[in-house]
């Protein structure tokens, strides 16, 4: 089973700052990695698929990069509504789709 490890567990930043979130896979997942955002009491929302493609309606400040085992989600300039929990999900052995444990992005 592919294990995804996200870091850091918690990231404390201020609005306007740049956020960099990491996701590392226990074996190569090629580019088959997605990122989701989840706010309290809400279902997750797809942000990025295939490592670097923004989903429909996702602002350009969100970007993804990486391949193989190391991936990054970058939020270029944080808006107040971006403070949430972020999950990565591997899709290399689709339809199975394991998730990372999440990174909480909180306001400093």
Partner 1 sequence: QVQLVQSGAEVKRPGASVKVSCKASGYTFTTYAISWVRQAPGQGLEWMGWINPYNGNTNYAQKLQGRVTMTTDTSTRTAYMELRSLRSDDMAVYYCARDSARDGYNLWGQGTLVTVSS
For partner 1, which is the closer residue by CB, 8 or 15? 8
Buried b / exposed e over 40-73, threshold 16 CB at 10 Å, is: eeeebeebbbebbebeeebeeebbbebeebebbb
Could you say which of 55, 67, 69, 72 contacts partner 1 (CB under 8 A)? Answer: 55
**Considering the rule CB under 8 A, would residue 10 count as an interface residue with partner 1?**
no
- Of the CA atoms within 13 Å of residue 43, those in its CB half-sphere come to 2
**Considering the rule CB under 8 A, would residue 87 count as an interface residue with partner 1?**
yes
Task: Kindly list the residues in this chain that would bind partner 1 in the complex (CB under 8 A).
Answer: 1, 34, 36, 38, 43-46, 49-50, 53, 55-56, 87, 89, 91, 94-102
């Amino acid at each position: 089973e592919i294990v995804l490890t996200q870091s850091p567990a918690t990231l404390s930043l201020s609005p306007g700052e740049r956020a960099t979130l990491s996701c590392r896979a226990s074996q190569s997942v090629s580019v088959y990695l997605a990122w989701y955002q989840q706010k309290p009491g809400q279902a997750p929302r797809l942000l990025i698929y295939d490592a670097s493609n923004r989903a429909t309606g996702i602002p350009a400040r969100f970007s993804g990069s990486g391949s193989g085992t190391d991936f990054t989600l970058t939020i270029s300039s944080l808006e107040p509504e971006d403070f949430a929990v972020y999950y990565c999900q591997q899709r290399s052995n689709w339809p199975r789709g394991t998730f990372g444990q999440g990174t909480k992005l909180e306001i400093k």
